[in-house]
Amino acid sequence: MLVVECKIKAKPAQYRAIDEAIRTVQFVRNKCLRYWIDAPKESQIKRFDLNKYSTELRNEFTFVKDLNSTACQASAERSWSAISRFYENCKSKRPGKKGFPRFQKNNRSVEYKTSGWKLHSTKRRINFTDKKGIGELKLLGKWDIHTYPIKSIKRVRLVRRADGYYCQFCLDVECVDVQPKTGQEIGLDVGLESFYTDSNGYQEHNPRFLRTAESDIKQAQRRIYKKKKGSTRRRKARARYSKKHLRVSRQRNEHAKGLACNLCKSNDLVAYEDLRVSNMIKNHCLAKSIADASWYQFRQWIEYFADKFGKEAVAVPPQYTSQECSQCKRVVKKALSTRTHACQCGCVLHRDTNAAINILHKTRSRGGHPQSNAKGVAASTLLGATLVEQVTTANLESLSMQERGVSIKL
């Protein structure tokens, strides 16, 4: 799958129509979720039952009928996606909370399937033909959608962000660019002191984007509460605050993407730690720094580029990678504050370099090239039965999203 994203230029009335369509999608999703919750225990609600219920909603509410029928089905599929994920967590006996589906409060997108829209002959405009009144929108961006056949477009999605509105095209095309073999293998140990340390001893600087912009973000947040509730000035202050968070989110994404691309191009095998970041951020002392490092996003890009370039990406269990000596395999216990690994065998290395070498050794000990963990999931947008949610960027576009050209080619 390939996602091409273009920014939208339209009139204020069209932006209001998009907002109305987004609110309708949220209404349909929440109604389908309520239908599943209120259903008797003996009746098992399936995906197609929710699709039928969305049709009943179209007959009952006029504003739902004005939305394209495939967009209503996509809304019902969103609710089923949350329900099925909850079922899978229960069956797999996932520890902790199982992720019971919750009602949506600030939806930011509306998704169409193969109907309800029509591309202009120039492929630089798109017309939405349902009764919401969105009409024809101008597409901005350097990537031309006309380079792909229209039949390959399986989904069209309108997304509201802090800095405007975007149109995403989900294309059913293969994204493969096999790179020549280099004969190089590398192990990576991510950290807070440096973004990552590889098995060759190189340490990548940790940019700390949130820490750098934190003073400006806090200042913008204070200005919100100095404005009167419900006023235009307060709304504009919220928009400025959200744009600062969005900028940090995009900086993280571009940083992780560039590093992952270079690593996968220059190495045939990339080994990294299989970290549970969601558990690590429960430490309130390090949670902000860990989230700012965006380790999981970096891992997603490594897996994506490894699949795209025909390389190997392997996740290694992190147990004892920092304590074990990379030379003699003796366990040398040390506190987190101890940054130098010194063993009785005479091996003296930086703690993270020693860990990166151990990660690479664990990968090689499995015999030859192990099975790749790369899934080819694009880190810009997660693709599935529905174009569910943006991977990381949407979570930080907080405040103005509640009221919520760059192009991506993977």
31 and 168, same domain (yes or no): yes
How much is the pLDDT for 162? 92
For residues 62 and 192, membership in a common domain is answered with no
Q: Are residues 91 and 227 in the same domain?
A: no
pLDDT per position as a tens digit, 276-317 = 888 888 888 889 999 999 999 999 999 999 999 999 999 998
Residue 28 lies in a domain: yes
pLDDT in tens, 63-117: 999 999 999 999 999 999 999 999 999 999 888 888 999 999 999 999 999 899 9
The amino acid at 200: N
Residues 67 and 148 in one domain: yes
More reliable by pLDDT, 322 or 238: 238
How many structural domains is the chain composed of? 2
Task: Write down the residue that tokens 């509105």 correspond to.
Answer: 165
> pLDDT at position 174, please?
83
Q: Is the residue at 169 inside a domain?
A: yes
Tell me the whole-structure pTM to 2 decimals.
Answer: 0.81
Whole-angstrom CA distances from 120 to 135, 137, 144, 150 are: 12, 10, 12, 11
pLDDT at 141 over 90: no
99 and 204 part of one domain? no
- Three-class SS state of 188: strand
Q: Which position has the token pair 């029509």?
A: 118
CA distance 16 to 4: 24
Residues 13 and 128 in one domain: yes
Q: Which two tokens stand for residue 229?
A: 């509730």
Terminal Cα-to-Cα distance of the chain (whole angstroms) = 9
Strands, sheet with 135-140, edge to edge from the N-terminal-most edge strand: 109-112, 153-161, 164-171, 2-9, 135-140, 125-128, 117-119
**d(C-alpha 256, C-alpha 302), whole Å:** 9
Closest CA to 181 of 310, 304, 303, 363: 310
Q: Are residues 275 and 162 in the same domain?
A: no
Asked if the structure places residue 256 within a domain, the reply is yes
Q: How far apart, in whole angstroms, are the C-alpha atoms of residue 147 and residue 153?
A: 12
Say yes or no to pLDDT of 53 above 90.
yes
Domain that holds residue 388: 2-174+380-402
Cα–Cα–Cα angle for 294, 249, 251, rounded to 5 degrees: 85
330/334 Cα distance (integer angstroms): 13
pLDDT in tens, 170-183: 998 888 888 889 88
Q: Are residues 58 and 122 in the same domain?
A: yes
313 DSSP β-pair partners: 270
Asked whether residue 143 falls in the same domain as residue 282, the answer is: no
Query: Helices 12-38 and 69-91 meet at what angle, rounded to 10?
Result: 40
pLDDT digits (tens, 9 = 90+) for 366-377: 643 444 444 433
Tokens at 289, concatenated = 């720094």
What is the predicted pLDDT for the residue at 219?
Answer: 95
- Chain-wide mean pLDDT for the chain? 85
**Residues 160 and 43 occupy one common structural domain:** yes
Q: Are 188 and 272 in contact (CB under 8 A)?
A: yes
Structure tokens at 114: 């193969």
Confidence band for 3, pLDDT divided at 50, 70 and 90: confident
pLDDT, tens digit (0-9, with 9 covering 90-100), for 369-400: 444 444 433 333 333 334 433 333 333 333 33
* Domain assignment of residue 408, yes or no: no
353-377 core/surface letters (b: 16 or more CB in 10 A; e: else)? bbbbbbbbbbbeeeeeebebbbebb
Residue 338 in any domain: the answer is yes
Tens digit of pLDDT for each residue in 337-352? 888 888 888 888 888 8
Which residue, among 375, 376, 377, 381, has the nearest Cα to 406 in the 3D structure?
381
179, part of any domain: no
Kindly state whether residues 385 and 356 are assigned to the same domain: no
Calculate mean pLDDT across residues 158-165.
Answer: 94
Contact 137, 10 (CB under 8 A): yes
332, HSE (Cβ side, Cα atoms, 13 Å): 23
Q: Tokens in use for 402?
A: 């509640």
Same structural domain, 88 and 16: yes
Average pLDDT on 242-263 reads 94
